[in-house]
Amino acid sequence: MTLTEAKFEYLLRLGDNALILGHRLSEWCGHGPILEQDIAITNIALDQVGQARSLLQYAAEVEGKGRSEDDLAYTRDVMQFRNLLLVEQPNEDFAYTIVRQFLFDNFNFLLHQALTQSKDEHLRAIAEKSLKEITYHLRYSSEWMIRLGDGTEESHQKMQTALDDLFIYSGELTSPDEVDQQMHEAGIGPDLDRLKPAYDQKVKDILAEATLQLPEVKYMQSGGKDGRMHTEHLGFILAELQFVQRAYPGMEW
Amino acid sequence: MKSCIFAYKHKAILPSASQSFYDNMKEPNQHTFEDQFQARIDAEERIEPKDWMPEKYRKTLIRQISQHAHSEIVGMLPEGNWVTRAPSLRRKVALLAKVQDEAGHGLYLYGAAETLGAERDDLLDELHTGKAKYSSIFNYPTLSWADIGAIGWLVDGAAIMNQVPLCRCSYGPYARAMVRVCKEESFHQRQGYEIMLTLARGSEAQKQMAQDALNRWWWPSLMMFGPSDKDSKHTAQSMAWKIKRFTNDELRQRFVDITAPQAEFLGLTIPDEDLRYNAETGHYEFGAINWDEFWQVVSGDGPCNRQRLKARRKAHEEGAWVRDAAVAYAEKRRQRKAAAAQQQQVA
């Protein structure tokens, strides 16, 4: 893979994570458990879709085939998406939403912290802006992990169930593949192996405070970021996300 | 005695105009209080939460402000319906931000109602049980992307017409909340019009989509101003109290006068054969409103009344464990802090 191709792949991963998670969070809009949390979740959704725009614009530019952010978001099919499996998992309830968010924010924070040192100037600028938002996201999801984990018996049980179901998708986050490696060597992205200890430590700390048990996982699920596999959920996300563009192609909106 | 009156929270019977006047009162004379109150209103003074106010004024305001808050919250549903299907990332961000603004408006308005002694939980119960009303317009479905444009243009446009005079409402917290709400609403209105303009300048299918949205949203938008003056039971008293500054019919006329030329600019046709400009009066004349439909929707039998209430109830019920957990955790933290402080004292 040429460096440009690898960079395009890498930017798609970052952009697709932000887009798909932002989309998932936006499904809460108007249906939150408390008005204040409806606003907070929508805020995170807004940040994520905003980041997706910057990243996909840049990806399209790197690709150099005249595609736009919307072409990338609205006209690719499931197997061309490069988001982590974790972010496409359904909202289910507030517990799943918070666990998914925490597992992702923890990674996203470390990743963006590292990307502020990237040799790629454009990506560095995006990361610097996003890091401020992601710092808040991580604080928010960590606090709710603890509040719900250590809240009532019912909330504890719901959080543990969500964690047990979602933890199998967390391995993919910090396992480097060829593209990650190539980006690391080019000084564009971090060495994921080096992020892993900090990721694991934060999970351990927050789970301890939330009185939750770290699930024992024999096999982690993967395939989202390298395009080998997705869960069945992504197709339905795209069916909704892309409906208007698919039904009325090639128009200005 | 003073503190006991304050302790009686917002039902405090205390004329702020003159403390000594109050102290000298052995037997409060309701009539004198009301005259004084009306004199303050007539002098365009703002009434603040701790000021004396007639019980009916307080109740009228709680009813109106909470209805307004509920409208913001229920209004999130028809627009939220297109958040996941917005046709571009730019539109998706703008729509999310707009719906979030509405949640914010709901928050300030519940806050304003709380200054009158109402509790948010009780107000929500009234919404969920169908006892409280909200703007009927949100009982219509959003069927295409153009509906998001039409809501911004027409529904937010009508809301602004209603709300700008409320920035001068006699009750301070409501008036101040409305100043902020109106700024954001006018931004939403321009955004909605811009969506319509893009569609109207687009392909044949997009133009049709825009026209269809206008057809469905026009009449319900006119109904947003409420029953005609002769049938409006609250108008006279609300105008005397300067909660309301213009009648429903006056505001409706102003809306038609402003909106009709905008539709013309878009190249869309307002679905009213009787609509015409009267050069003598300088106003547009328009056809008869179907008041049967208005009362049908108000009384709970509109196209989406059931779905809207069901969605609100579901969010509330399914969120109960989250709210309970937040309360339980806060209490645990408080206890742990207290225990830690005690231990420190012992040490």
Query: A149-173: per-residue pLDDT in tens?
Result: 999 999 999 999 999 999 999 999 9
Kindly tell me if the per-residue pLDDT of B153 is higher than 60.
yes
- How is residue B344 written in tokens? 């420190």
In A, minimum Cα distance to B88 occurs at A70
Which residue of B322, B327, B333 to mutate against A (max A Cβ within 10 Å)?
B322
Distance CA A133, CA A135 (A): 5
Smallest CA-to-CA distance from A40 within B326, B14, B130 is with: B326
CA distance B172 to chain A (A): 24
Q: Render the burial of B115-153: b for 16+ CB within 10 Å, e for the rest.
A: bbebebeebbebbbeeebbbbbbbbbebebbbbbbbbbb
Cβ B85–A93 below 8 Å, yes or no?
no
Residue B36: predicted pLDDT: 93
CA distance B36 to chain A (A): 39
Residue B232: predicted pLDDT: 84
**The architecture CATH gives domain A3-247:** Up-down Bundle (1.20)
CB-based contact (8 Å) between A239 and chain B?
no
Residue B346: predicted pLDDT: 84
Distance CA B317, CA A58 (A): 43
Q: What angle do CA A104, A32, A156 make, to 5 degrees?
A: 60
Distance CA A85, CA B5 (A): 60
Contacts of B325 in chain A (CB under 8 A): 147-148, 151-152, 154-155
Contacts of A90 in chain B (CB under 8 A): none
Cβ B103–A158 below 8 Å, yes or no?
no
Higher-scoring residue by pLDDT: B29, B132: B132
Kindly tell me if the per-residue pLDDT of A143 is higher than 60.
yes
- How is residue B252 written in tokens? 């409706």
CA distance B48 to chain A (A): 26
Higher-scoring residue by pLDDT: B232, B178: B178
Nearest to A155 among B93, B314, B325 (CB): B325
**pLDDT one-digit tens code per residue, B188-236:** 999 999 999 999 999 999 999 999 999 999 999 999 999 999 888 888 8
Residue B28: predicted pLDDT: 55
- B226 in Cβ contact with B219 (< 8 Å): no
CA distance B307 to chain A (A): 13
Q: pLDDT over 90 for what percent of chain A?
A: 100
Nearest to A34 among B83, B198, B322 (CB): B322
Average pLDDT over residues A184-188: 98
In B, minimum Cα distance to A71 occurs at B88
